[in-house]
Structure 1
Amino acid sequence: MDKHELGFCGPGLMGAPMIRHLLRAGHAVRVWNRSPQKAEALVADGAQVAATPRELARAAEVVLLCVADAAAVESVVFGEEGLLAGGTGEGVRVRCIVDHSSIPPDATRRLAERAAALGVGWVDAPVSGGVAGAQNGTLAIMAGGAATDVEAVSPILAAYASRITHMGGAGAGQTTKLCNQAIVTATVAAIAEAVSLARRSGIDAAKLPEALAGGWADSTLLRTFVPRMTQDGLEPIGALKTFQKDVDTIAAAAMQTGTPMPVAGTVQQLLRLAAAMGLAQADFSGFVDVLQTPRTGEA
């Protein structure tokens, strides 16, 4: 595989292990983060720290993003000292931006059009597989953008992805991620209901993955989340506010396309209830805590 000089914005729970895989693959990676300490933590792995996104644009032809939301993506790319702030003047090398963030498809299309006007390609490349997938280099990437751009960056993304699927033009990757999140959030909510039912029925909920192994209810999500819902002290793998952001985006896309999504609508209300209960920062498994309201007669 050819070695590249890359930029990466957003070394968080997902981004940091992705950057480490790029470094192990032999790429030179400059890293920027709004909180500098997260970028500096990767220096020991071989990364270089950039002071601004604009600095990355001057050093790398491909810059990858993994940030919180559409506002953060727009700020990193077009804000003050952003990758494309002031256009692509002398000294700017970036020719393609790969966005691993999960943002609305229509926002992606607008950003991609602005970048294209400056001669910069855009690949929306949201991922699935969670922190474990990022750490193991087995993420699934659903990509949108020009076929030539997706083909060009795929060897780079292969450092941390086991599957890269080109789904169509700009925004198609984000739409596919919404489909993914509709399935994931509904399934995790259903697992929380099953754990709650098991507990209230007097059986050991922790044994559900063993009891259901090999059956139709068996899944990676079941094996991942039942332990997280029945054990204490496990390292968080994401916050419920992230699920809420995704499900709100699903609801907006459903409205725009006239798609009935009653299950996603119920999950959206469950997540809003979680936020009202002060659980926005709780782990993804916090669905089960929303369901732990005392029964009549309980203290």
Structure 2
Amino acid sequence: MTETADGHERVGYLGLGLMGLPMTQRLLAAGYDVTVWNRSPGKAVALVEAGATVATKPAVVAANAGIIFMCVTDAAAVEEVVFGAGGLASVPGVGKLVVDFSSIHPDATRAIAARLKAANGMGWIDAPVSGGTKGAQEGTLAIMAGGDAADVERVRPYILKMARGFTHMGPTGAGQTTKLCNQVIVGCAMAVLAEATRLAVNAGIDAKRLPEALAGGFADSIPLQLFVPRMVAGIHTPPLGHISTMLKDLDTVVDVAHDTGTPVPMAALAAQLFRMAAATRGAGADALEIYKLSAPKV
């Protein structure tokens, strides 16, 4: 049985990282029956205390749930969770749905979805997210979806316990493509805000007051209000996102842009800046450490 006595579907969550952990906490707080799996079992301890059931492998999650949420690092990780030993493809899947919050190449999501459907009949929604760890904790994420319209509506009540917005953008892969558009904007914004903040500091004005000074004007934005104070104060723990994640997404933007004949000079430049940040700060560092690329030598 994948439904509870109150008619809600039992759900699963695979991947309990920066985003998966708080998103799962919100599902539990909403009263849903949640089975979780993570490659490192220790990350599930707090969720077990909140009422979650821990599974030893993804297949066990799929056997116990009608809707399986997933958020892992990249396409290789998605492949492993779906088709590896004890993966989702190894259990009967007709009537079950995977909702993949991971950010991967649209071509990869279409290929994986088709292979899984052929293997066991399980459905697929690509649903990458935007809003960072803060949005995951507060339930204010923006989630963009690709897949069948009926499937999207089936999962909507559960998604809206974790997000403020859930928009169906088209068939499989459309969610991932929309996320790439998001990352063009966010990645370039991080680079530009780092530049503006450094200019303020070097010119001797109080960079901490930039969000206040620009509030309500054309330069105002959520990134301005959130990123600049953290850059100025050197707040990078917990990270809002990793350099490696932003670089992966911007590299995918450049790849899709090549395939579609789309000029993306700003995104390509931002990708190179994040590549420099990875080389100097470390791929696992907070993405906002891009600000430190322009720090004066001491």
TM range (shorter): over 0.9
Amino acid at match of 2:107: D
The Cα shift of 1:278 comes to 3.5
The whole-number CA distance in structure 2 between the counterparts of 1:15 and 1:115 is 22
Amino acid at match of 1:48: T
Whether the aligned pair in 2 keeps the contact of 1:31 and 1:39 (CA below 8 Å) is yes
Report deviation, 1:94.
6.4
Q: Aligned Cα RMSD in Å?
A: 1.5
Residues 257-284 of structure 1: per-residue CA shift (max 9 Å, x gap) = 1100000011011011112213322212
Partner residue of 1:30? 35
Q: Is the 8 A contact 1:59 1:93 kept in 2?
A: no
> Partners of 1:94 and 1:145 in 2: how far apart?
15
Aligned to 2:182: 180
Q: How far is 1:154 from its partner?
A: 0.9
The within-5 A match list for 1:80-119 is 80-85=85-90, 88=92, 95-117=96-118, 118-119=120-121
Given the alignment of the two structures, is residue 224 of structure 1 paired with residue 226 of structure 2, yes or no?
yes
Answer yes or no: is 1:242 the counterpart of 2:245. yes
Tell me which amino acid in the other structure corresponds to 2:108.
A
Separation (CA, whole Å) in 2 of partners of 1:61 and 1:74: 20
Partner AA of 1:42 in structure 2: L
Of residues 169-178 and 264-273 in structure 1, the stretch that sits farther from structure 2 once superposed is 264-273
Alpha-carbon distance between aligned partners in 2 of 1:93 and 1:14, rounded to the nearest angstrom: 28
* Counterpart in the other structure of 1:72: 77
2:168 match: 166
- For 1:1-150, what aligned pairs fall within 5 Å after superposition? 2-85=7-90, 88=92, 95-117=96-118, 118-150=120-152
Give me the whole-angstrom Cα distance separating, in 2, the residues matched to 1:234 and 1:267: 20
Residue-by-residue CA offset, 1:106-141 (whole Å, 9 max, x unaligned): 000001111221211100000111111111111111
State the number of aligned residues.
291
Residue 262 in structure 1 maps to residue 257 in structure 2: no
Aligned-partner SS, 2:166: strand
| Identity value in percent | 53
Q: Distance in 1 between matches of 2:234 and 2:135?
A: 22
Q: Does 1:282 align with 2:285?
A: yes
1:58 shift after superposition: 1.1
Letter in 2 for 1:55: V
In structure 2, list runs of 5 or more residues that go unmatched. Answer: 1-5
Contact 2:69 2:99 in 1 (8 A): yes
- 8 Å Cα contact 2:128-2:143 kept in structure 1: yes
Q: Deviations over 1:164-218 (max 9, x none)?
A: 1100000000000000000001011100000111111111111110111111111
Instruction: Tell me which stretches of 4 or more aligned residues in structure 1 moved more than 3 Å.
Output: none
Q: Which amino acid aligns with 2:219?
A: A
Distance, in Å, in 2 between the alignment partners of 1:165 and 1:232 is 34
Using the TM superposition, give the Cα deviation of residue 23 of structure 1 relative to its aligned residue in structure 2, in angstroms: 1.1
TM-score normalized with structure 1 length: 0.94
- Cα distance between partner residues in 2 of 1:245 and 1:234: 20
Q: Secondary structure at the match of 2:281?
A: coil
Secondary structure of 1:42's aligned partner: helix
Match of 1:273 among 276, 280, 286: 276
1:2 to 1:138, Cα distance in 2 relative to 1, 3 A:
farther
Partners of 1:76 and 1:48 in 2: CA distance: 18
Instruction: In structure 1, list runs of 5 or more residues that go unmatched.
Output: none
**Other-structure match for 2:294:** 291
Whether the aligned pair in 1 keeps the contact of 2:236 and 2:289 (CA below 8 Å) is no
User: Is contact 1:21–1:160 with CA below 8 Å preserved after alignment?
Assistant: yes
Distance 2:94 2:115 in 1: 17
